[in-house]
Amino acid sequence: MIKCGHRASMRYRGPQQLWALSRRCHTMGLLRIARIVKTINYLAHRALLPAEAEVGEEVSLEHYALGVVMHPNVVIGNHCRIYHHVTLASESVIGSEHKIVLGNRVTIGAHAIVIARSNTTLAIGDRSILGAGSVLTASVPPGEVWAGNPARKLRNIREC
């Protein structure tokens, strides 16, 4: 879980731990407790992390997850990195089959905004990168770097 050069004792993981707790409570049917933990996480870290989100292993919320906002219809793959002040928003109703899906090893830079339009699924493919400050409204194929407002393809990962 900890990357090379980091010591486990020096890495603060409070927002992620509270988010994991709220997700566990939600899956056990303890919805009120899940909401309370989510609220505590918001008050402490200004991160709005829904218990309903599906999250893979080793997801890293960088810079204490400050200002991260997610729609409940989000699916995050394994080994993803999400930096501070990222918004993952959807115009679909909570609980619908339309989601924002992050593949494995996706990185989303600080202050990026991802918006899934009404009744559509937006996917960011495996090993893709979305640059800081980008605004994304379309799906990204695997292994590509996208950035800008509106976000557009800059290059393939192999070219980096």
The whole-angstrom separation of Cα 130 and Cα 140 is 9
**All structural domains of the chain with their residue ranges:** 47-159
Angle (deg, nearest 10), helices 14-27 and 31-45: 170
pLDDT on residue 19: 93
CA–CA dist 135, 80 (Å, integer): 18
- What does the block give as tokens for 100? 């924002």
143-158 pLDDT, tens digit per residue, is 999 999 999 999 998 7
C-alpha closest to that of 44 among 71, 64, 24, 21: 64
Question: Which two three-digit tokens encode residue 35?
Answer: 């909401």
Q: How many whole angstroms separate alpha carbon 64 and alpha carbon 17?
A: 11
Percentage of the chain beyond pLDDT 70 is: 91
Q: Which whole number is the average pLDDT over 50-68?
A: 91
Strands 74-76 and 54-55, by their bridges, are parallel
Q: How far is CA 128 from the centre of its chain?
A: 13
Kindly state the DSSP code that residue 48 receives in the 8-state scheme. Answer: B
Kindly tell me if the per-residue pLDDT of 4 is higher than 80: no
pLDDT recorded at residue 160: 53
User: Which of the two residues, 44 and 127, has the higher pLDDT score?
Assistant: 127
Q: What pLDDT shows up at residue 8?
A: 42
Domain 47-159, CATH homologous superfamily name and number: Hexapeptide repeat proteins (2.160.10.10)
Q: Tokens for 149?
A: 């407002």
Q: What is the pLDDT of residues 70-122, one digit of tens each?
A: 999 999 999 999 999 999 999 999 889 999 999 999 999 999 999 999 889 99
- The letter for the amino acid at 2 is I
State pTM to two decimals. Answer: 0.86
Residue-wise pLDDT tens digits, 118-141:
889 999 999 999 999 999 999 999
Residues counted in the chain: 160
